[in-house]
Structure 1
């Protein structure tokens, strides 16, 4: 018994277990990375890699039909600076963007204020104005291409009241106006819904206090409504500007960039160079110019928000 007791007392102390690598913190980090992994993979695969490839292609002259792919360095950028058709394309892009953004935001805000009232039929009209948003863009544009023809539905309606309408898609001025109006009716419902959501978040007590102080309806709109929905105005303006700079299907279906180059916006000019003339390197250079324009306008709006967006400092 004594020897057994001595052996038990002389036994070495147990070795402490090594801590597990998968601690609670590491498991939480892994779960977080797994949740964001699909988005990260999408950004890398569909944004970063294509952007790098576009930069690489812009340094080459690539003609698929001829089977040539040669390094030209800054040759495409020099050709872009000397291109006489670039400035008309930028001008058409600017006209379309300014016209669409001003009309879209103004009409969407007007409709939102109107349909925010407690009146009969507002639900029907909300659905009516939003329904074009869910219609396929190409189908919507094809229908309008028939309506805007010389003998189409629009001129037929004007003829019924004694007005001889023009050939909307064949005039330098009317073609651009037609494209803007078609896109305006297609997308105004989305901004209207966003403005409606913002208007319904404005406290009614502020309107009541302004009314008691003697503020008119316009003063209440300018001093109460606009500041409180200014974050939504910023969001809709960024989305509308970026969307207007990327317009393509409407131009391709309605005017094919004509008459002349009056509606040849930058994206359609890119399409012509890359997929009609097969100058993919030059097309990649134009796409980088478009990327820089979109990025610059978005950053400018974001930095200027501190001057007019409520609660920003």
Structure 2
């Protein structure tokens, strides 16, 4: 009777059996997202942890001291007499920017959505301020808004004596809002324009057959279908309004008084002008908390105000 020889079994697994297709795909995915993860860790997560750590200390750069103070900076935050005015200015600026920016952007998008000759030129014209340097844009507006600037010169032609726009409380806030609106309205306009072009024409045709007027078509068809874009632009605009700095620094330096001193500029003053780095870190923690709360609130509201086709 013949004996069939048995082949010897390998004692260990071969390397090829370890690198399966699934593991190779997972490794490729990790390599693709690794730069983003490293960037977020180095420039977002670690700085956030350090800012919280600094808020528990008082860091005197001139004396080269770093003293643990616990919750002292947070106690100062509650007792700061200037903070209510700063938060009020921040709320006014953010509300004014969001209302005028979104309203003007939607109006321009509706007008530029018409199929007319040369409409591309106007789209480019309204979008061009977005790509202009922020500081250069603000400096030019600073000259225009002076007492003897270009805007008052135009008003004087019509017999109107214009105010000192940047040195009076009401006009100073209006001025910085208008400058910021004109700077970024083109971005939201493009987003709204893309959303409007995605609305099916068949819905408008059916509404016209039923005798619905234009305003009712806009309210019942256009707004619901572009509501996801409205949510997106509102979140972007609100977060951006809470981060404004260059316009305030160049135009008003927070004045007159604390009229245009928004939270980011007040943070800059405390940390880099008065060298209260611990208190400045505490203000930045509060700013981060405000942004998170507002973003979360808007995201929760999407179920009520946003229409999804699916």
Q: Same fold (TM over 0.5)?
A: yes
Aligned to 1:210: 207
Task: Give, in whole Å, the separation in 1 of the partners of 2:13 and 2:273.
Answer: 67
Shift of 1:118: 1.0
The answer on whether the counterparts of 1:206 and 1:224 sit within 8 Å (CA) in structure 2 is yes
Could you list the runs of 4 or more consecutive aligned residues of structure 1 that deviate by over 3 angstroms after TM superposition? 9-12
In the alignment, what sits opposite 1:50?
Answer: 47
2:104 is the alignment partner of 1:107: yes
Aligned counterpart for 1:268 among listed residues 259, 265, 268: 265
Q: Which residue in the other structure is 1:304 paired with? A: 301
1:191 aligned to which of 185, 188, 192: 188
3-state DSSP of counterpart to 1:14 = coil
- Where 1:97 maps in the other structure, the secondary structure is helix
Deviation at 1:236, TM superposition (A): 0.1
Q: 1:311 Cα shift? A: 1.8
Q: Is 1:71 aligned with 2:68?
A: yes
Higher gyration radius (CA): 1
1:120 Cα deviation after fit? 2.3
Given candidates 15, 21, 28, the residue that maps to 2:9 is 15
SS in structure 1 at match of 2:166: helix
Answer yes or no: is 1:165 the counterpart of 2:159.
no
Q: Quick check: 1:93–1:245 contact (8 Å CA) kept in 2?
A: yes
Between stretches 62-71 and 202-211, larger displacement belongs to: 62-71
What aligned pairs does 1:19-98 form with structure 2 within 5 A after superposition? 19=14, 20-98=17-95
Q: Select 1:285's aligned residue among 267, 282, 287.
A: 282
Shift of 1:312: 8.0
Question: TM (normalized to structure 2)?
Answer: 0.96
Q: Partner of 2:18: helix, strand, or coil?
A: coil
Tell me the equivalent position of 1:3: none
Task: Give 5+ residue unaligned stretches, structure 2.
Answer: none
Shift of 1:43: 0.9
Partner of 2:230: 233
1:126 aligns with 2:94: no
CA distance, structure 2, for counterparts of residue 10 and residue 262 of structure 1: 96
How far does residue 65 in structure 1 lie from its aligned partner after superposition?
A: 1.4
After superposition, the C-alpha distances for 1:195-230 in whole angstroms (9 at most, x for unaligned) are: 000000000000000111111000000000000000
SS state of the match for residue 96, structure 1? Answer: helix
Offset at 1:11?
A: 4.5
Q: 1:10: how far off?
A: 6.8
Equivalent pairs counted in the alignment come to 307
3-state DSSP of counterpart to 1:170: coil
TM-score by length of 1: 0.95
Check conservation: 1:305, 1:312, Cα contact below 8 A: no
List runs of 5+ in structure 1 lacking aligned partners: 1-5
